[in-house]
């Protein structure tokens, strides 16, 4: 501070925050004094006031618990609605897929029949016809794959009643290329009709011949 600056000038130049802090302190002190005055003038005893305060706190806690329960119930409801909606969508997709399975079966049968024909006697390129049919079938299967649909048609795998429907059984010892069976149990020797699955849901088990 310069020699020419007076005490009044110094006070005027002081940061306003100090004044605001001082004002807040005064307000807090006034509020505390008002509460103390009200408590002194209240005809109820201190014990009664503390008892009422405890009751109010209990009611507050009950209201908070109710609010938490309501929030939890709503959150569970929201999750259940989302889950049910997903299941309904999956069921709708499964209905569409099931409607197309017969078409894929027909394509498989036509391709197999074309392979068995004598193209020379019919004057047609049976191989080209069969190849074209397989292209259509593979395209349909790729379309179904976008809905999570998988084809079940592997041979040489262990028989699983969840995914396989055994309609015939052959002796493993008589099957060419078989090791005669072992402790692993029956295996799928031939697939007569492919099966389909969507995630963990089996849309249709594969119709198979089992070697045992």
Give average pLDDT by consecutive 10-residue segment, the chain, 212 residues.
Answer: 47 48 66 66 69 83 87 88 79 74 78 67 67 81 82 92 93 66 76 88 92 88
Q: What is the pLDDT of residue 189?
A: 93
Provide the pLDDT for residue 43.
Answer: 65
Residue 189: phi, psi to the nearest 5? -90, -40
Number of H helices, E strands in the chain: 5, 6
- pTM > 0.85: yes or no: no
pLDDT of residue 182: 53
**What's the rounded Cα separation, in Å, for the pair 191 and 175?**
15
């Amino acid at each position: 501070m310069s020699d020419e600056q007076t005490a009044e000038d110094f006070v005027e130049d002081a940061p306003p925050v100090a004044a605001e802090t001082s004002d807040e302190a005064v307000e807090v002190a006034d509020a505390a004094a008002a509460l103390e005055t009200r408590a002194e003038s209240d005809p109820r005893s201190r014990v009664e006031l503390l008892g009422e305060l405890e009751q109010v706190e209990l009611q507050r806690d009950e209201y908070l618990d109710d609010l938490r329960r309501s929030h939890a119930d709503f959150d569970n409801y929201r999750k259940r609605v989302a889950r049910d909606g997903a299941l309904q969508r999956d069921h709708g997709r499964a209905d569409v897929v099931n409607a197309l399975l017969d078409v894929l079966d027909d394509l498989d049968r036509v391709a197999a029949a074309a392979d068995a024909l004598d193209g020379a006697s019919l004057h047609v390129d049976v191989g080209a016809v069969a190849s074209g049919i397989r292209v259509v079938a593979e395209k349909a299967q790729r379309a179904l794959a976008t809905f999570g649909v998988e084809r079940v048609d592997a041979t040489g795998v262990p028989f699983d009643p969840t995914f396989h429907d055994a309609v015939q059984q052959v002796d493993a010892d008589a099957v060419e290329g078989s090791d005669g069976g072992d402790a692993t149990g029956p295996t799928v020797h031939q697939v007569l009709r492919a099966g389909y699955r969507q995630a963990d849901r089996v849309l249709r088990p594969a119709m198979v011949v089992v070697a045992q």
